[in-house]
Amino acid sequence: MHLKKLQIIISVLVISGFLLAGCSHSSKISQKSINRVIDVAEKQYTKMLEVSTDLAKYPRTSNADGSVKYVSIRDWTGGFWPGSLWYLYDFTKKDAWEKAAVKWTESLESNQYNTTHHDIGFMMYCSYGNAIRHIKSEKYKEILIQSAKSLIKRYDERAGSIKSWNTKKSWDNNTWYFPVIIDNMMNLELLFYASKITGNPIYKNIAIKHAETTMKNHLRSDYSSYHVVDYDTATGKVLHRQTNQGLSDNSQWARGQAWGIYGFTVVYRETGDNRYLNTAQKMADFYINHPNLPKDKIPYWDFNAGQPGYKPDWAYDASKFSYVPRDASAAAVTASGLLEMYKYLPNGKKYYDFAIETLNSLSSPAYLATPGTNSFFILKHSTGSIPHGTEVDVPLVYADYYFLEALARYKKLIN
Ligand code: GLY
C-alpha cells in the first residue's frame, strides 16, 4: 500500500517536472501577437462570409484579379473553411462564428458518400470532426462514421494501403494504377475516430496497416519522403516512386514532408506505437535541419528548389519566377504537427521552439494579411502546385486552417 502511494507521488513529481520543463522554455508567442492574428482573422472572415453566399462554393484561394477562388464540394479542400470558422469560434466564443461554422459544416453533408478519392478525411474530419467537439450531435456522428466507411472502400489488402487517386499519369508518362501519396496520412484520423465511437476496430486496423505500409515504402534513408508510391495490386509490390507536386522524384516537396510529420504523430497518439513517433521525429529532423531552409523557417515550396542535382520531369519554366516561392501552408501544417509531437517527447524542446519560431514568422506582417487584402484569407505566400502551374505564392485555405489550429494548440499547451 505504502509502496503504491510512493509510486504515485513519484509519478506525479516526474510528470510535473516534465510539464514545468515544458513551460519554462524561452520561446513564446505574445498574447498581443495572438490577439492581432485573431483580429485579422475576424476582419478577413467577416468579409469572406459577406462575399461567399453560395453554400455550394468553398473558398480555396485567390484568382489573378484578387477575387476569391471557389471550388465545388468535390474538391479536397472543402472542409477547411468550416474548420477555420470552428477555430475562430474556439478563440472568440462569439455566436456568429459558431453559426457560420455550423452552416458551412452542414453544407458538406452529402460528401459522406464520396468515394472518388482519398480526401474525405480532410473534408469531413476538419469540418464535422471540429463541429462535434462543440455539438454532441448523433447526426454528425453518423455522418463521420459513413465518411469512414466511404474511405475504407478504397483500401486494398494486397497493397496494404488506401488508394489516393484513381488511375493517373506521371510526368514522365508512367501510368499509376494504385497511387498512394504521403498526404494520405492525414486522412487516417477519421478512421481512428470511427473505431473509437463505433467500437468496431476495422477502421483503425486499416489506418494502422496503411501507416505501416507508408512507413515502409514512402521514406528514404534520410527520412525525407516520396510524394507518390504506386503499387501493383496483384502482388502488393511497389512499381513507381515519384512526384506529382514536388520538383522531382528525388527531391523533397515541402508540404509532403509536413503531411508526414503531422500524420505519423497522429498515428502515434492513437496507437502508442513508438515506431510512428520515431518516424515523425526523424521526418521533423530532416525538415528542421535542412540546409536550404530559410532563416524565418518558412520553407521553399520544395526543399531542393534552386539546388543543383534536382531536375524536374515536367516542363519547368524557371524564368516565370524571379525568386523561389515559399509555402506557408507547409509551415503551418508542420508547426501544428510539431506542437502535437512535442507533447509525447520528454526532450522535445527543440521541436516546440521550432514551431513557435514558425508561428511567430507567420504572425508577422511578412505573412499575415493586411485586413481587406489577400482575398480575405489570413496568410499570404503559400504554393499549391508549381508543376501544374497553379496557385503559386497565393493564399490557401488550408494554410489558414492549420495556422489557426497550431495557435489553438499553443494556447492549450501554455494553459
Ligand atoms: N493534398 C494535396 C496537397 O497538399 O496539395
How many angstroms separate the alpha carbon of residue 384 from the centre of ligand 1? Answer: 7
| Ligand 1 within 6 A of CB of 183 | yes
Mutate which of 184, 186, 228, 245 to test ligand 1's pocket (most atoms within 8 Å of Cβ)? 245
What are the tens digits of pLDDT across the range 362-406? 999 999 999 999 999 999 999 999 999 999 999 999 999 999 999
Query: Cell 501510368, residue?
Result: 175
Ligand 1 contacts CB of residue 118 (under 6 A): no
Residues 254-276 have a mean pLDDT of 98
119 in active site: yes
Q: Which ligand 1 atom is nearest residue 385's CA?
A: 5
Mean predicted confidence (pLDDT) in 204-230? 98
How far, in Å, from the CA of 162 to the mean position of ligand 1? Answer: 16
Q: How far is the CA of 227 from the centre of ligand 1 (A)?
A: 10
Please tell me what DSSP assigns to residue 233.
T
- Would you say 58 and 78 are in contact if contact means Cβ atoms under 8 Å apart? yes
**Residue 74 corresponds to which amino acid?**
R
CA 27 / ligand 1 centre spacing (Å): 30
Task: Give residue 17's pLDDT.
Answer: 40
The string of pLDDT tens digits covering residues 310-348 is: 888 787 777 778 899 999 999 999 999 999 999 999 899
What pLDDT score does 5 carry?
53
How far does residue 225's CA lie from ligand 1's centre (Å)? Answer: 14
CB count within 10 Å of CB 212 equals 16
Task: Take atom 2 of ligand 1 and give the residue whose Cα is closest.
Answer: 183
Q: What is the structure's pLDDT at 11? A: 46
Query: Does 255 contact ligand 1 (Cβ within 6 A)?
Result: yes
CB 192 within 8 Å of CB 204: yes
Please identify, by atom number, the ligand 1 atom nearest to the C-alpha of residue 122. Answer: 1
Residue of 262, 166, 260, 174 whose CA lies nearest to 217: 260
Q: CB burial class (10 A; 0-12, 13-18, 19+) of residue 269?
A: middle
Ligand 1 closest atom vs CA 255: 4
Distance 324 CA to ligand 1 centre (A): 19
Mutate to test the pocket of ligand 1, among 118, 259, 386, 401 (most ligand atoms within 8 A of CB): 259
Instruction: Name the band, by pLDDT with cuts 50, 70 and 90, for residue 49.
Output: very high
374: helix, coil or strand? Answer: helix
Q: By alpha-carbon position, which residue is closest to atom 5 of ligand 1?
A: 384
Cβ 384 vs Cβ 391: under 8 Å:
yes
Check residue 26 and give its pLDDT: 65
69 CB within 6 A, ligand 1: no
Q: Where do we find the cell 463521420?
A: 144
Q: Which of 90, 119, 230, 400 is catalytic?
A: 119
Over residues 128-136, mean pLDDT: 98
What is the pLDDT at residue 311?
A: 82
Under 8 Å CB-to-CB from 176, ≥6 apart: which residues? 165, 167, 168, 169, 170, 228, 230, 239, 240, 242
Cα gap 364→284, rounded to integer Å: 23
Higher pLDDT pick, 24 / 105: 105
Nearest ligand 1 atom to alpha carbon 119: 1
Q: What pLDDT does residue 215 have?
A: 98
The answer on pLDDT for 194 being more than 80 is yes
Quote the ligand 1 centre to 333 CA distance (angstroms): 11
CB-based contact 284:358 (threshold 8 Å)? no
Nearest to 326 by CA among 303, 365, 298: 298
Give yes or no for a contact between 277 and 343, defined as CB atoms under 8 angstroms apart: no
Indicate whether 217 pLDDT > 70: yes
Shortest-distance atom of ligand 1 to CA 181: 1
Average pLDDT value for residue range 44-54: 98
Are the C-beta atoms of 114 and 150 separated by less than 8 Å? yes
Which position has the grid cell 508577422?
A: 364
Annotated active-site residue in 90, 183, 230, 400: 183
Q: What is the pLDDT of residue 13?
A: 41
CB neighbourhood size of 273 (10 A) = 14
3-state SS class at 344: coil
Could you give the percent of the chain with pLDDT greater than 90? 89
Determine the atom of ligand 1 nearest the C-alpha atom of 259: 4
Residue 270 Cβ inside 6 Å of ligand 1? The answer reads: no
Identify the pLDDT of residue 320: 78
Q: What's the pTM?
A: 0.94
Question: Cα(first)–Cα(last) distance of the chain, in Å?
Answer: 34
pLDDT-based confidence at residue 25 (cuts at 50, 70, 90): low
Q: How far apart are the CA of 143 and the centre of ligand 1, in A?
A: 23
Q: What is the pLDDT of residue 315?
A: 75
Catalytic residue at 296? no
Residues in Cβ contact with 249 at an 8 Å cutoff, skipping those fewer than 6 apart: 226, 241, 242, 243, 313
